[in-house]
Copies of this chain bind each other. A is one copy, B any other.
C-alpha cells in the first residue's frame, strides 16, 4: 500500500493501473467497521482500490464539530492496509483548496435543501458536492463506494454525478451496525457510556416503524397501536409517535422524516417506497440513521 498526498502523485500512481478497474472509497478517516465493509466491497470488485482520507472543512457547518472530528491517521492506515487498499490519497487542505480557490459545485432542489440541508445549512451539501467532485476527478474511478447511512449525501452525489456526467458508477453498501443495532459512525466514539446506551433508541425506533408499516400494509392483520395511524396521514402519526418516543428515551430528535428515497420529497401514501430518516442529538453528539422500505 502506498500513501500519496497530492493529486498529481495520485494520478501518476494510477496511470499504469488503468488496464483494470479502479474503485474509490472516499472517507474522512476515523475508520471503523462500516468503512471496512466499503473497502472489502471495492477489493472484491476492482483491480485497484483507492481510499481517500480527507476531513473536508467546507462541509462542516459547526466549527466545534470540525475541531472535535476524530483524526486517527496511523490507525486508519493500518485498517486500510488490512482491508487490501492499494493507494491511500491523504491530501492536506492546501492541496484540495489552494489559495484563490473559488469554485463550488452546488445541487439545488428538495434533495439538497430538505432534512440535512435544512438543519446544517446550504453550505453543507455544497461542501460535500464540491469535495466529492474533486475526489472523483482526481481518481477518475470506475466505481465509488458510499454507505447507505448517509442516504441524503448519496442522493445528492447521485444527482451531481448524473447532472455533470462524471463517468463513475456509484455503489451503495448497506449500513453497518453494532450488535445492538446502532449504526456505525466515527462520531460514536464521542458518546459517553450512558449516551451510547440511550442512542440505541434511534435504530430501535426505525425498527418499530418498519414493523408498524408492515402491519399497516398487511391486508388483514391487526393494525399497530399508534394514535392516528389509521387516519389520513399515517406517516405523520408515526412521526409524532417516534419523536415522542425518542424524547422519552432522552434523545433530542431534529427530524423523523418519511421521504422518497431518490428525490427526498415527502411521502404520505403508506404503500409507496419510503426512506425513513432520523437525525437526533444524544448529548452533544449529532447522529443520523435511516431505513428504506420498498413499496407495498
Residues of A within 8 A of B (CB): 7, 11, 100-109, 111-112, 129-130, 133-134, 137-138, 140, 159-160, 163-167, 263
Q: Is A107 a contact of B111 with CB atoms below 8 Å?
A: no
User: Within the assembled complex, what's the spacing in Å between the Cα atoms of A129 and B134?
Assistant: 15
Copy count, this protein chain: 2
What is the minimal beta-carbon distance from A102 to any residue of chain B, in angstroms?
4
Q: Is A105 a contact of B107 with CB atoms below 8 Å?
A: no
Given A140-B167, A166-B137: A108 and B104 within 8 A (CB)? yes
User: Within the assembled complex, what's the spacing in Å between the Cα atoms of A87 and B57?
Assistant: 41
What is the minimal beta-carbon distance from A295 to any residue of chain B, in angstroms?
20
Residue of B nearest to A135 (CB): B165
Q: Is A163 a contact of B103 with CB atoms below 8 Å?
A: yes
Residue of B nearest to A10 (CB): B165
Given A100-B109, A102-B163, A103-B129, 10 extra CB contacts under 8 A: A11-B167, A101-B163, A102-B107, A103-B106, A103-B108, A103-B159, A104-B105, A133-B164, A137-B164, A137-B166
Q: Is B105 a contact of A103 with CB atoms below 8 Å?
A: yes
Q: Is A164 a contact of B105 with CB atoms below 8 Å?
A: yes
What is the minimal beta-carbon distance from A185 to any residue of chain B, in angstroms?
27
Q: Is A165 a contact of B134 with CB atoms below 8 Å?
A: yes
Residue of B nearest to A263 (CB): B100
Q: Is A134 a contact of B164 with CB atoms below 8 Å?
A: yes
Residue of B nearest to A18 (CB): B18
What is the minimal beta-carbon distance from A161 to any residue of chain B, in angstroms?
9
Residue of B nearest to A111 (CB): B102
Kindly list chain B residues whose C-beta atoms are within 8 Å of the C-beta of A103.
105-108, 129, 159-160, 163-164
Kindly list chain B residues whose C-beta atoms are within 8 Å of the C-beta of A11.
167
Kindly list chain B residues whose C-beta atoms are within 8 Å of the C-beta of A130.
164
